[in-house]
Chains A and B, each alone.
Chain A
Amino acid sequence: MDFGQILNNTLSQILSPTTFGFALAAIGLSIHFGFAGLLNMGVAGFMAVGAYGFAISILTFGLPWWLAALVGFVLAAVFALILGIPTLRLRGDYLAIVTIAAAEVVRLLFLSTAYKDVTGSADGLFGFQAEFRAANPLPQGTYGFGPWTYTSDQWWVIIIGVALTAVAVLFTWSLMRSPWGRVIKGIREDEDAVRSLGKNVFSFKMQALVIGGVIIAAGGIVTAMGTNVNPNVYVTSQTFFIWTALLLGGAATIFGPVLGAVLFWVVRAFLSNLLPALVDAGLLPFLSREQAQQSVFVLIGVALMLLIIFRPQGILGNKKELSFVR
């Protein structure tokens, strides 16, 4: 068993585009669920709208990459509006069911062979990063040390990912200490009390849904910048994994989503490398390599259950901030 390799793969996961994608998505979800109390189960749908909006704008409409990213943001905002109008007046679990259904609708539309020319169907979209890479200020070559050795193209994605994540964290922090943030948290605690103060609860919830949705879409776009866009990524399991990451770090915290996303991927990468290696070494005689890979997902599911039962506030959270724990 090659521990060096396992450690290397695990540590290099920290700076992968998927980790940034998860961190951004978890920040957006923390605005939805952690601060505003909105049960968004369609995180994968928001990410898909952002990623496909970005890729299709470049491939089909030939837009420059930054404009394409803007299109992704705008589409996510529109998606949030469409979901919010029918559901935000209803009880929380309706929003959960509608968002999860809408995310599936989005994925099935992208997967359908009917629009293969635009969406690439099951093959997904690729080859849209050329112009984004051309904008890279770093000279060609390989930089870094140890597990964090990347090409300049990969570093460019990392720089954008770090920058976007930092902006999102700062933005969330300033938003949550503003009067707007206090109203949002008030809605989470007691909607009727806030309404009695003359605030338009529906409008505040809608603003939270749109802002969080745009940040989640940024996660989808960063992932797309570093890898390809494939409909099989944006399944409901993806949503559940992001929930796990968020709850791990702390739903109603500023740094919790980032910490949760990094931890989630580090642990997942570690186990996905370690368990098959243990099987090869004959230490898990009752499992095959595939079963060892699948058992990682079983562990994620169990971890999610244990987290929400025993430590719903997450690593960084404060239990007083959790109105969903009655």
Chain B
Amino acid sequence: MPHPNAPARTTRNRLGVFLALALTLVGLLALPTAAHAADDDPYRISGNVQLEGEPLEGVELTVDGPGGEQTVETDADGQWAVGVPERNADYTVTLNEDTLPEGIAVIDETGEDTSPNVREVTVGPGGRVTTNFFIGEGERNTTGFVDQLVERLVNGVNFGLMLALAAIGLSLVYGTTGISNFAHGEMVTFGALIALLFAVGLSLPLLVAVPLAVIVSGAFGYAMDAGLWRPLRRRGLGVVQLMIVSIGLSLALRYIFQMFVGGGTLQLPNPLSGVIPLPGSIVLTWMDLVSMLISVVVIIIFALWLTRSRIGRATRAVSDNPSLAAASGIDVDGIVRIVWILAAALAGLSGVLWAYFRPGIKWDMGTSILLLLFAAVVLGGLGTALGALVGSLIVGILVETTSLFGVPDDLKYVGALVVLILILLFRPQGILGRKERVG
């Protein structure tokens, strides 16, 4: 974030970079929904891969459905199993034929199925299902590495933009108030839950429900500031105390959400689930495209507001040095209120988009990305809005692409967190941060 006293040229240059970056992202648009395996998956899909009775080891299978996409390999007995978070739900099991020995493929017994390596399975009330693949000589269905890479990159950008919406708010709150807000994840969940309430509970059309959810999220941000954070500022609580308050708030909110919606995954209506026709084996739904467009447009508008409008400039001034800003006549309390409203609204929007990306809404969905948000914010530089965007994109792409390079799917968040620790070793102020913030 430029210093308020810095020459205007710097501001314009930064804005240029910001816009160029955002526009490049629009150009990058293309692809599908891989998502996120939940932490603790009680139910199980398993099976056998055999060639004429002999087990095949090291065959890769992908399971996609509620809770996200996961990849497993068969063990020495040709067996595989994955944990899934939902029962009474449908999953798609895909056997990656590239990992089979030469010259063989999954055979289709009926002769009607054009892609016998892809199976639909249903996890019933028992919570367990078994599906076996029959292997023989035949023609393969494959996805090339380049197609996969493109797919993952686009997914990563999509996920990164979503993270950015929430991370920008987290970063601004930190910059203006000094709070490391551990309840930010709950603000993400809140947006998704309110969208669910309007779209499913009250059956409003999505075009009404989603903007309403964003507005209600903003109101929630205002309520939190008015009801909790401002009184605490008046009391003069230290930043460590405020951080622990946010931890308590996060716990309380999370379990209140669970009391309302239970432990399962709920879905928003999706009128745009159709696939955009694209060359190769690249799959992109219209919802992915719309989601990315929304993120980019909102981020551009927000960047313009932050750099061009009076209040936006005042916000950056407060973020830089609250006492100096107050001394030059800026209403710090008013700015902080606006920051809370905007941060909550952006987090709420991010929650709605993430509900489509995962896909599904769960009581702890926000908590599960909280650390990625912190990673993004620290990576970009604590307290800088542009840094949060850059950090989010890096984290998003990292999370989505690491599995292409041999990292198991259930460790895909680990890469981002390790990068967070490493960046603090070598550049603690983050990519765009300034050194004096490090303290």
Contact = CB atoms under 8 A, between A and B. Distances in A.
Given A96-B180, A122-B83, A113 B417 contact: no
Interface string A286-326: 01001100110110111111101100100000000000111
Contacts of B82: 113
B408 A112 contact: yes
Interface stretch (A102-110, A132-140, A154-162, A199-207): A102-110
B235 A111 contact: no
Interface string A26-63: 00000000000001000000000000000000000000
Contact of A113 (B72, B259, B367, B420): B72
B414 A300 contact: no
Given A96-B180, A243-B244, A298 B414 contact: no
B402 to A, nearest CB: 12
Chain A interface secondary structure, helix, strand, loop or mixed?
helix
A6 to B, nearest CB: 21
A300 B248 CA distance: 8
B40 A324 contact: no
A297 B39 CA distance: 19
Among all A-B residue pairs, the 7 with the closest Cβ atoms: A301-B252, A301-B251, A304-B248, A305-B248, A91-B439, A324-B240, A297-B255
Contacts of B417: 101-102, 104-105
B410 A111 contact: yes
A91 B251 CA distance: 25
Nearest to A97: B374
B72 A305 contact: no
A309 B252 contact: no
Interface stretch (B208-216, B306-314, B421-429): B421-429
A288 B25 CA distance: 47
Given A108-B414, A301-B255, A303-B248, A86 B241 contact: no
Given A98-B424, A298-B252, A305-B249, A108 B411 contact: yes
A300 B255 CA distance: 10
A193 interface: no
Interface in A252-290: 287, 290
Contact of B425 (A85, A112, A113, A324): A85
B39 A39 contact: no
B439 A305 contact: no
Interface size class of A (residues with CB under 8 A): 35 or more
Interface string B214-246: 000000000000000000100111111101110
A22 to B, nearest CB: 16
B375 interface: yes
Contacts of B19: none
B410 A39 contact: no
Interface string B243-283: 11101111111111011001000000000000000000000
Given A240-B251, A287-B259, A298-B255, 6 more contacts: A97-B420, A98-B424, A112-B410, A244-B248, A301-B255, A305-B249
Contacts of B410: 108, 111-114
A96 to B, nearest CB: 7
Contacts of B243: 39, 93, 96
B417 to A, nearest CB: 4
B259 A294 contact: yes
Contacts of A243: 244, 247
A301 B241 contact: no
Contacts of A244: 248
Nearest to B438: A90
A232 B42 CA distance: 11
A78 to B, nearest CB: 15
A227 interface: no
